[in-house]
Chain A
Amino acid sequence: MVATVLRLKYTTVRHQLVREWWRALLLIGGAVWSLSLVPAVVWASVQLLDESAEVRADILLVVAAICIAGWITVPLLVTGLEDTLDPGRFTTFGVSAKQIAPGLTLAAFLTAPALFFTGAFVVLMLSWREESAAALAVALVGAALTVAVMVLGARVAVAWSARAVNDRRTRGVLLLAVGLALAVLGSVVWIALRDGIDSALQYEAQTLMEWLGRTPVGAGMAAAESATYGRWWSAGWRLALMAGTVAVLALAWRDSIAHALVNPVHRGGGRRRRADAILASASDLPSDGTSGASRWSRLAGLWRADEPTRAVRARMLVSWGTDARYLVAAAGVITLPVIFFAIAMPVLGLDTRWAFVAPVMLAASIGWGRHNDVAYDHTALWLDIVSGSRGRAVMAGRAQAVLVWAVPATLLAAAGILAWTGRWYAAPGLVGATLGTLGATLGVASVTSVLLPYRAPAPGENPFGAEVGSLGASLGAQLLSSAATMLVLPLVTVPLVLALTVHAGWGWVSLGTGLVFGAAFLLGGLRLAGTLYDQRAGSLLARVS
């Protein structure tokens, strides 16, 4: 069965390569890039050789902790990673988890990233070779177990998150837990760095690492140090802890496979909704396309809100509230700003004015994150296409549904940062830059989502998975939308920088440029996207399915 599963994987990959030649380029490019890192790893290993055992162990521990954190979070944040062997795909074959788990596990270890990390950690461990043969052996075993924790941890994290996020009861708990974890992380970092980075490195960091060395995160790395000094008991229980963790993760992974085999994710849980949210959103005025007196269009004042636009907006608001794929996307946007604010800023010892970047980053994450918005409709978008030339309504409704929550969210973030820094004089500048960024990035994203849609998880599918065959297209679309975003961002952010560095008066300029350019890019983007949508209606369905 192991061989069958592995053969299945490589046959699938081979067929993809044959069908889409650019995939081979990507594969080769990725391999070259990985290989180009090899000298760096070897260099690091040589440098570690000169360090004392304590320092070496500490450095390796931090590296392992970062790698484990990366392995567990990246697949959750970056959807579209490879999922040829998603256990859910095996449901119809009548196999048991016991039969396919070994094959799936082995396949997980035979992916390029897993192999690269294994190799890299083995090379790094060679820096223990001058201590003693026993220390080197312990280090190698510890490294192997650490990589196993990464690979299995990533699978379990994705499987559990998919389960939690698709279950109404656990979804709230999950979001709460994520928020709580971020809050704790942020406050720990801030408290630790209250007295400056040097004191933190001296005291708190030492304590933290000592503790990490007793957890599955760092025990595999700390074991070698114990072995160097002949503390065999200490090295032994650390390796045992790692082995136990790997065993528990393997069991959890098998349990997740077993669960996925008999619980297809696409169910709504028998929820009922009496009120018609779509009809409720419709205007009571006669629909002549210019119902300018309606509450919404007066509030926004910027774009038309005819019946189709309202219907799309109402539909998208339902999705933002209930669809796991959108919930994951909404939760993901806070990652970058939080990492920047809670980790990068204190670690780099940046001036508090840098905190103003966080709300702008949040706005940019939200806007850029919509660069594949249309594809999330999957083949359901047939209904929009057959309804006539509704491109403008479709794109405007989608953007409005995002703005409904994104404007309050970014303004809240901006207010929080203003309160934290106490620089209330910069309020107009920050508000302008934040809203301008939101508008500009959403405008750009709406165009790329029509121009370069790539396959997204279908409704009800694992929100962390991707359809096979999306990697190259997604990379192209992501690069292009990032580049376009980078081009327009200075227009709305430079005045804020000037306000903070040159003269506070620039803040009002920032408010002006932010609102004007933000609205212009949004409206222009939506208009263009709507026209493109109608022009490309005949090929959109094929592109997203």
Chain B
Amino acid sequence: MTQLGEGRTQAMALRALTKRFGATLAVDRIDLDIPTHSFYGVVGPNGAGKTTTLSMATGLLRPDSGQALIHGVDMWREPSRAKAMVGVLPDGLHSFDRLTGGELISYAGLMRGLPKETVRERRDDLLAALDLDAAGSTLVTDYSAGMTKKIGLACALVHAPRVLVLDEPFEAVDPVSAGAIRRILQEFVASGGTVVMSSHVMALVERLCDHVAVVGHGHVLAAGTLDEVRAGQDLEARFVGLVGDIADQRDLAWLRQS
């Protein structure tokens, strides 16, 4: 029960989380504490292990070793309790694309065990808030990338989770919708919720997040409040400093037009 005491102030706590794919060590004993009521950004270069880490924290990928605690509940020991507290938006996975957008939200709500009337109300609220009203009766297979992101976010929100884990939530989303999503997430954090978000866009992370972790080669390179990690620089410069710039900055002379 020491974990509980320690985990209570942590919305999410990762302990020595490790995942190996064949010869590649994708995530190497990652420790991360994500305080409740924080807007936490996870940044890292491509292939750093962000998605793998978030998948292990949300019950989508069993870790080789280590723990993922959601408000003190072990995701892999008590999955039902832990999953109920988390809303997930994965990146690059299919959705049940023969359903319409509205049906997909209903499905997510019913799978979370919500009663029918609640699902109906929340579905309509979410479609309106994410500007998907017109798309609510269109099949998800006909959605653009940005609309798919938005409907995925709606599915993650429908059961009013305590922790939101979002993999690249703003990718391919237009500025107007991005503004709407930003407002929803900021209000969610202001009301006591926790958002964990991965992103490649440093400016976005600086603007939204109060905490940030830089992940590279399966390790946490730096983590803490935004100011601690930035250490006086801007985030992008600090990020490049931590993960290292491209070694061979070759000049593509043949690409020049004149």
Q: Which residues of A contact B (CB under 8 A)?
A: 266-274, 276-279, 282-284, 286-287, 306-308, 310-312, 314-315, 318-319, 322-323, 377-380, 382-390, 393, 458-460, 534, 537-539, 541-542, 545
Smallest Cβ-Cβ distance to B165: which chain A residue: A386
Contact between chains at A315 and B96 (CB < 8 Å): yes
Contact between chains at A318 and B99 (CB < 8 Å): yes
Smallest Cβ-Cβ distance to A19: which chain B residue: B22
Q: Would you call B83 an interface residue if the criterion is a C-beta within 8 Å of the partner chain's C-beta atoms? A: yes
* A379-B99 contact in complex given A270-B142, A279-B116, A539-B62, C-beta closer than 8 Å: no
Inside 8 A of B120's CB, which chain A residues have their CB?
Answer: 276, 279
Beyond the given pairs A270-B142, A272-B100, A273-B103, 4 more chain A to chain B contacts, judged by CB atoms under 8 angstroms and listed by A's residue number, are: A279-B103, A311-B106, A319-B98, A323-B98
Contact between chains at B98 and A318 (CB < 8 Å): yes
Bound Cα distance from A388 to B110, whole angstroms? 12
Contact between chains at B62 and A383 (CB < 8 Å): no
Out of A311, A382, A389, name the residue touching B110 (CB < 8 Å). Answer: A311
Bound Cα distance from A283 to B113, whole angstroms? 12
Contact between chains at A378 and B111 (CB < 8 Å): no
Q: Would you call B97 an interface residue if the criterion is a C-beta within 8 Å of the partner chain's C-beta atoms? A: yes
Contact between chains at B123 and A279 (CB < 8 Å): yes
Bound Cα distance from A537 to B79, whole angstroms? 10
Q: Would you call B41 an interface residue if the criterion is a C-beta within 8 Å of the partner chain's C-beta atoms? A: no
**Which positions 110-167 of chain B face chain A at CB distance < 8 Å?**
110-116, 119-120, 123, 137-139, 141-142, 155
Contact between chains at B79 and A387 (CB < 8 Å): no
4 nearest A-B residue pairs (beta carbon)? A538-B62, A311-B110, A268-B139, A387-B111
Contact between chains at A276 and B103 (CB < 8 Å): yes
| Shortest CB distance B221–A (Å) | 26
Contact between chains at A380 and B112 (CB < 8 Å): no
Contact between chains at B106 and A390 (CB < 8 Å): no
* A322-B83 contact in complex given A279-B119, A538-B60, A541-B61, C-beta closer than 8 Å: no
Q: Would you call B218 an interface residue if the criterion is a C-beta within 8 Å of the partner chain's C-beta atoms? A: no
Out of B55, B84, B106, B112, name the residue touching A278 (CB < 8 Å). Answer: B106
Smallest Cβ-Cβ distance to B83: which chain A residue: A388
Contact between chains at A386 and B59 (CB < 8 Å): yes
* A286-B99 contact in complex given A274-B137, A308-B110, A387-B108, C-beta closer than 8 Å: no
Q: Would you call B76 an interface residue if the criterion is a C-beta within 8 Å of the partner chain's C-beta atoms? A: yes
Q: 20 pairs across A/B with beta carbons < 8 Å?
A: A268-B142, A271-B138, A271-B139, A273-B100, A273-B139, A276-B100, A276-B103, A277-B103, A278-B110, A279-B103, A307-B114, A318-B99, A386-B83, A388-B83, A388-B112, A388-B113, A389-B79, A538-B60, A538-B63, A539-B61
Bound Cα distance from A388 to B109, whole angstroms? 12
Inside 8 A of A318's CB, which chain B residues have their CB?
Answer: 98-99, 103
Task: Kindly count the residue-residue contacts between A and B in the assembled complex, taking CB atoms under 8 Å apart.
Answer: 158
* A278-B142 contact in complex given A386-B60, A387-B83, A389-B79, C-beta closer than 8 Å: no
Bound Cα distance from A282 to B109, whole angstroms? 11
Contact between chains at B94 and A378 (CB < 8 Å): yes
Out of A307, A380, A538, name the residue touching B113 (CB < 8 Å). Answer: A307
Contact between chains at B61 and A538 (CB < 8 Å): yes
Contact between chains at A308 and B96 (CB < 8 Å): no
Contact between chains at B139 and A383 (CB < 8 Å): no
* A380-B96 contact in complex given A276-B102, A388-B80, C-beta closer than 8 Å: yes
Binds A, one of B85-93, B191-199, B203-211, B233-241: B85-93
* A383-B95 contact in complex given A388-B80, A388-B83, A389-B80, C-beta closer than 8 Å: yes
Bound Cα distance from A278 to B139, whole angstroms? 13
Bound Cα distance from A308 to B142, whole angstroms? 25
Bound Cα distance from A270 to B138, whole angstroms? 7
Among B61, B110, B119, the one with the most A-chain Cβ atoms within 10 Å of its Cβ is: B110
* A322-B102 contact in complex given A388-B79, A388-B83, A539-B62, C-beta closer than 8 Å: no
* A538-B116 contact in complex given A311-B106, A311-B110, C-beta closer than 8 Å: no
Contact between chains at A282 and B116 (CB < 8 Å): yes
Q: Would you call B58 an interface residue if the criterion is a C-beta within 8 Å of the partner chain's C-beta atoms? A: yes
Inside 8 A of B93's CB, which chain A residues have their CB?
Answer: 379-380, 382, 541, 545
Q: Which residues of B contact A (CB under 8 A)?
A: 55, 58-63, 76, 79-80, 83-84, 86, 88, 90, 92-100, 102-104, 106-108, 110-116, 119-120, 123, 137-139, 141-142, 155
Smallest Cβ-Cβ distance to B156: which chain A residue: A386
Out of A266, A282, A314, A383, name the residue touching B155 (CB < 8 Å). Answer: A383
Bound Cα distance from A363 to B133, whole angstroms? 43
Bound Cα distance from A380 to B93, whole angstroms? 6
Contact between chains at A460 and B100 (CB < 8 Å): no
Out of A267, A283, A539, A542, name the residue touching B142 (CB < 8 Å). Answer: A267
Inside 8 A of A278's CB, which chain B residues have their CB?
Answer: 99, 103-104, 106-107, 110
Bound Cα distance from A270 to B102, whole angstroms? 15
Contact between chains at A272 and B137 (CB < 8 Å): yes
Contact between chains at A311 and B97 (CB < 8 Å): no
Inside 8 A of B61's CB, which chain A residues have their CB?
Answer: 538-539, 541-542
Bound Cα distance from A279 to B112, whole angstroms? 13
Bound Cα distance from A534 to B27, whole angstroms? 24
Contact between chains at B103 and A380 (CB < 8 Å): no
Contact between chains at B142 and A380 (CB < 8 Å): no
Smallest Cβ-Cβ distance to B117: which chain A residue: A284
* A276-B62 contact in complex given A322-B98, A387-B108, C-beta closer than 8 Å: no
* A386-B107 contact in complex given A279-B119, A459-B141, A539-B62, C-beta closer than 8 Å: no
| Shortest CB distance A280–B (Å) | 9
Inside 8 A of B112's CB, which chain A residues have their CB?
Answer: 387-388
| Shortest CB distance A432–B (Å) | 35
Contact between chains at B110 and A458 (CB < 8 Å): no
Contact between chains at A386 and B88 (CB < 8 Å): yes
| Shortest CB distance B258–A (Å) | 24
Inside 8 A of A390's CB, which chain B residues have their CB?
Answer: 111
| Shortest CB distance A279–B (Å) | 4
Among A269, A386, A460, A542, the one with the most B-chain Cβ atoms within 10 Å of its Cβ is: A386
Bound Cα distance from A382 to B60, whole angstroms? 7
Inside 8 A of B95's CB, which chain A residues have their CB?
Answer: 380, 383
Smallest Cβ-Cβ distance to B140: which chain A residue: A268
Contact between chains at B113 and A308 (CB < 8 Å): yes
Contact between chains at A315 and B108 (CB < 8 Å): no
Inside 8 A of B62's CB, which chain A residues have their CB?
Answer: 537-539
| Shortest CB distance B93–A (Å) | 4
Bound Cα distance from A517 to B144, whole angstroms? 48
Inside 8 A of B96's CB, which chain A residues have their CB?
Answer: 315, 377, 380, 383, 459
Inside 8 A of B107's CB, which chain A residues have their CB?
Answer: 278, 311, 314-315, 383
| Shortest CB distance A397–B (Å) | 10
Among A276, A282, A283, A287, the one with the most B-chain Cβ atoms within 10 Å of its Cβ is: A276
Inside 8 A of B114's CB, which chain A residues have their CB?
Answer: 287, 307
Out of A273, A287, A377, A541, name the residue touching B60 (CB < 8 Å). Answer: A541
Smallest Cβ-Cβ distance to A275: which chain B residue: B137
Bound Cα distance from A32 to B103, whole angstroms? 51
Contact between chains at A268 and B102 (CB < 8 Å): no
Contact between chains at A385 and B60 (CB < 8 Å): yes
Inside 8 A of A380's CB, which chain B residues have their CB?
Answer: 93-97
Inside 8 A of A378's CB, which chain B residues have their CB?
Answer: 94
Inside 8 A of A323's CB, which chain B residues have their CB?
Answer: 98
Bound Cα distance from A426 to B112, whole angstroms? 47
Out of A270, A383, A534, name the residue touching B111 (CB < 8 Å). Answer: A383
